[in-house]
Chain A
Amino acid sequence: MKNSQLYKGSLNTIIMKLLEENGKMYGYEITQKVKGITQGELNITEGALYPALHKLEAEGLLDVEIEKVDNRMRKYYKLTESGQKETVNRLSELEDFIRNMQSLVNPNPKLEF
């Protein structure tokens, strides 16, 4: 992942936000979606994505579904009810974080306008 230290803490929230928007998704789809939205800027590595998904699943925030696609089985992840509530909390936390970081990095943005 690009500059992993900065993005690491937000990975779970990114996953949950994507699932909130798209309903159910499978692992590879998530990596491609993030790549697409950020125009290749952010690349979630496989070694980080699956541990995050498994952890969220174990915490009861995600549920899984299996479908047979082509010659293989595909595991889909979707938010549980508590996962949906938690997504709202985490997103507002992340937004606060972004706002605070913006004011710290750019203390007087009004001057720019």
Chain B
Amino acid sequence: MKLTAQQIDQLYLFTRQHYVEWYDLQTELVDHLANAIETEWEQNPKLTFDEVLNKEFRKFGVFGFMDVVESRQAALGKKYNRLVFNHFKAFFRVPKILLTIGVTFLLFKILKTSMYNNYIFIAICISYFGFIFFEFYKIKKIRKIQKETSKKKWLFEEIINQYGVSSGAFSVPFYFFIQISSRAERYLLNDYWLFSVSLMLVLFGILNYILFKIIPSKTREYLLETYPEYKLEKL
């Protein structure tokens, strides 16, 4: 006996109730449960839909779908990191490396010659975090709209939209900026240190640009590549 469309919807609801929020994972689990239920019904046709469903769900173990969700998050997290790294590498290859070197030297020159390099540094820090907060606010707004319209959620899209903020873009630069501003004389007066500081600022800038501009602008492309079903859904 085959499952009806209504029972398939019930299975989607069941996965949502068991903390699987993302449509891509839900789809895979729904098909698995549906197959398992249909097979079980061939042997025990008298069992109800709920009875068979609970029996099959128990096979996932005490943590239910959590193992599957976590492994998927880890796998896609790695994929995202690889994506960031590949974009990052491009800034150290011709032609972008010319831009990287050029901006680093320009920044070094400005910080070296200006009498107000301390203030320039602080201004850079403020604009850096201002930019991050602005992007963060934008993401929050998008998520709110998504929640209200109950749009389908894709795990990789969520990783793209929130990863940078939580990890690399915030904590490491924050620690770096605090260190530099608390010992400005040491870092901003010595040429070698000043060059390193300029380079670090440029690297953080590149990372931000990748996390908040390049990758989000290609979200659709990456989702299509990750999920063949994304195309079907958007038709």
Task: Enumerate A11-67 residues with CB–CB distance to B below 8 Å.
Answer: 26-29, 32, 45-48, 50-51, 54-55, 57-58, 64-66
Residues of chain A lying within 8 A (CB to CB) of residue B218: none
Q: Mark B64-86, 1 if CB is under 8 A from A, else 0.
A: 00011011101110110000000
Decide if A70 is an interface residue (CB 8 Å cutoff): yes
Residues of chain B lying within 8 A (CB to CB) of residue A58: 75-76, 78-79
Least CB distance, B57 to chain A, in whole angstroms? 9
Least CB distance, A53 to chain B, in whole angstroms? 9
Contacts A55-B75, A58-B75: A47 and B68 contacting too (C-beta < 8 A)? yes
Tell me which of A71-79, A80-88, A89-97, A98-106 binds B: A71-79
Residues of chain A lying within 8 A (CB to CB) of residue B3: 70-72
Interface size on A, residues (CB 8 A): 26
Q: Do the beta carbons of B78 and A47 come within 8 Å of each other?
A: no
Q: How far is the CA of A109 from the CA of B79 in the complex (A)?
A: 47
Decide if A110 is an interface residue (CB 8 Å cutoff): no
Q: How far is the CA of A46 from the CA of B63 in the complex (A)?
A: 12
Q: Mark B110-153, 1 if CB is under 8 A from A, else 0.
A: 00000000000000000000000000000000000000000000
Q: How far is the CA of A65 from the CA of B232 in the complex (A)?
A: 12
Residues of chain A lying within 8 A (CB to CB) of residue B76: 58
Residues of chain B lying within 8 A (CB to CB) of residue A65: 228
Residues of chain A lying within 8 A (CB to CB) of residue B75: 54-55, 57-58
Q: From the candidates A32, A45, A46, A54, name the one contacting B72 in the complex (CB within 8 A).
A: A54
Q: How far is the CA of A68 from the CA of B72 in the complex (A)?
A: 22
Contacts A46-B59, A64-B228, A73-B229: A28 and B36 contacting too (C-beta < 8 A)? yes
Q: Do the beta carbons of A71 and B228 come within 8 Å of each other?
A: no
Decide if B53 is an interface residue (CB 8 Å cutoff): no
Least CB distance, A51 to chain B, in whole angstroms? 3
Q: How far is the CA of A56 from the CA of B35 in the complex (A)?
A: 23
Q: How far is the CA of A73 from the CA of B26 in the complex (A)?
A: 10
Q: Do the beta carbons of A28 and B32 come within 8 Å of each other?
A: yes
Decide if B182 is an interface residue (CB 8 Å cutoff): no
Q: Mark B35-58, 1 if CB is under 8 A from A, else 0.
A: 110010000000000000000000
Q: How far is the CA of A46 from the CA of B4 in the complex (A)?
A: 23
Residues of chain A lying within 8 A (CB to CB) of residue B30: 72
Q: From the candidates A46, A57, A72, name the one contacting B68 in the complex (CB within 8 A).
A: A46
Decide if B2 is an interface residue (CB 8 Å cutoff): yes
Q: Do the beta carbons of A51 and B67 come within 8 Å of each other?
A: yes
Q: What are 8 A-B interface contacts by the 8 Å CB criterion? A: A47-B60, A50-B32, A50-B71, A50-B72, A70-B2, A71-B5, A72-B3, A75-B28
